[in-house]
Structure 1
């Protein structure tokens, strides 16, 4: 319990720093966001993924924890998709974006400090990152590309340009710096390669800067946000948030405990990762493929606000 409180306290403090910066420095906020975002995306986040995976024993992660993460994400997103299509009668694009928002957890930002302080190891968060980067994201990006192709094709026809192929669009989105950093880190882990300290230490320092910068930028983006403002999407936001923070942790507990025999602190780590809020990457992916992002943005914000009590409840029940 103390580890969870400490982890969330660190996260909330950094988010508050971002909010205060946006309030006290309103004329500089947009410039800071524009400047920090590419630094995080192209430099610090890939460095963090490289360091995490290079230091992890992938055999243990891939044999148990990554399959759990994949099964849990598939079950949660599938339940959302069924409810969205057959109960709320939503279209394919809206269902797809909501399904990803209901299962793609904020492991990179919030998951790492929670895992380190509450569980004492990065294994739970690395397993989720591997599942999301190597399987879940490519699958959803393929669906997003298919859903967004009509819009892209129409826009290209109007401008006289040729529309990008589905394969090229997905490849460009999946082959991003974060995925490349993770792949290189996995290669170092599998082959037991090491870097000289003069290279490893700067990369490690860059990786350590990623989480604080991400949380500060996220705090800056919260100012002026009004969740649930669009009345027609409120049922979708509630559905996505409930699946993310309530249904997904229960599925994680059932799968980990009964199918894989995970117990104790390891079980706490698996379920706590499932109770994390939706990752901001879902907003980036949805907007990149021309899908409507209001639903995703609201699920991210609401789940971020309610994640602390969700993870605390998990720690109370399993800690």
Structure 2
């Protein structure tokens, strides 16, 4: 229980700092958000993923935990996408954002203390990070890039290009180039580099490792504060057209995903005991703020993501406590 409470307490405190900052500095909030978002995306998040994975025992997490994490996330995203696309009749971009929000868990900050204190091992959280950052995130970022191209304003085709011609005179990026740019994003590259160091037992000198560690440790506080700033003046479920989507995403995230995780781990991989608790506890985590960062970076609407993150963050504590009681 202590790990669950500690993880959620840290997150709420840092989000609160962002909310207070937006109240005390209303004229500076927009500039802070616009300045910090690319810093997190291009610098601190990649550094965090590198230092988390560089000293990990990959054999332990790749054998069972990572395949479980991949299967659980894929099944959860598919369920949301089917409901969103065929029952709610939502467009592809909105469905993609909601699907990622329903299956991409906040393993980076809440998951770490929960794994260490409640489970006694970092293997469950590292496996989720590997699955999310090396497979799930690149897949969704590719979809986001494709959706961004499809939803770009038609009027922009007459805007002057860098060579003096109009954008209509320049060929749009090929799908292959879009996919490559999406997969080769800074966070995925940082994760891949950390996994490479872990696999080869490479080490960095202290003069390089220490600055990287400092940058990585700054990522979570900055990300949570930026998210807190975005909440000022926003009311959950205020946009009536998105209420069904938010409810669907929250239910899939907090109710369905843990059940899928339990079924996959128990019946397919024969995981039991504390290891099973770790798998299900990771699935019961709220939506990661990185989904908000990714969707904003690709110019997609973030209202749905923000509301699912907020609702899942508010309801994840009782969900996680219930998991701990049932499986602990």
TM-score (norm 1): 0.91
Q: How far is the alpha carbon of 1:260 from its aligned partner? A: 1.3
* Equivalent of 1:245 in 245, 254, 264: 254
Measure how far apart 1:103 and its partner are: 0.8
SS, match of residue 275 in structure 2: helix
Does the 8 Å contact 1:7/1:117 carry over to 2? no
Structure 1 runs not aligned, ≥5 long: none
Q: Indicate the residue corresponding to 2:84 in structure 1.
A: 84
Secondary structure class of the residue paired with 2:271:
coil
1:285 aligned residue: 294
Aligned to 2:16: 16
Structure 2 match to 1:215 = 224
Q: Secondary structure at the match of 1:100?
A: helix
CA offsets 1:232-268 (integer angstroms, 9 cap, x no match): 2211111111001110011011111221122222222
Aligned pairs for 1:157-306 within 5 A: 157-159=157-159, 160-161=166-167, 162=170, 163-306=172-315
User: Is this contact kept in 2: 1:152–1:290, CA < 8 A?
Assistant: no
Check if 1:315 corresponds to 2:321. no
CA offset digits 1:266-316 (Å, max 9, x no partner): 222211111112223323333444444332222122212222222122122
Cα drift, residue 127 of structure 1: 1.1
Report the CA distance shift for 1:34/1:145 in structure 2 as closer, same or farther (over 3 A): closer
Q: What is the CA–CA distance in structure 2 between the aligned matches of 1:42 and 1:171, rounded to whole Å?
A: 17
Equivalent-residue separation in structure 1 for 2:20 and 2:64 (angstroms): 42
3-state SS of paired residue (1:26): coil
Deviations 1:162-181 (A, max 9, x none): 32222222322332222111
Return 55-64 or 26-35, whichever deviates more: 26-35
RMSD over equivalenced CA pairs, Å: 2.1
Distance apart, 1:20 and its partner CA? 2.0
Check conservation: 1:151, 1:290, Cα contact below 8 A.
Answer: no
Aligned to 2:163: none
Tell me if the contact between 1:21 and 1:220 (Cα under 8 Å) persists in the aligned partners. yes
Distance 2:9 2:42 in 1: 27
- Whether contact under 8 Å (1:17, 1:219) holds in the other structure is yes
Q: Structure 1 residues 84, 149: closer, same or farther in 2, change over 3 A?
A: same
Q: Return the offset for 1:45.
A: 1.8
**1:117: how far off?**
3.2
Per the alignment, residue 146 of structure 1 pairs with 146
TM-score computed with the length of structure 2 as normaliser: 0.89
Q: 1:81 to 1:156 in 2, by over 3 A?
A: same
SS of residue paired to 2:233:
coil
Report if the CA contact (8 A) 1:268-1:315 is conserved.
Answer: yes
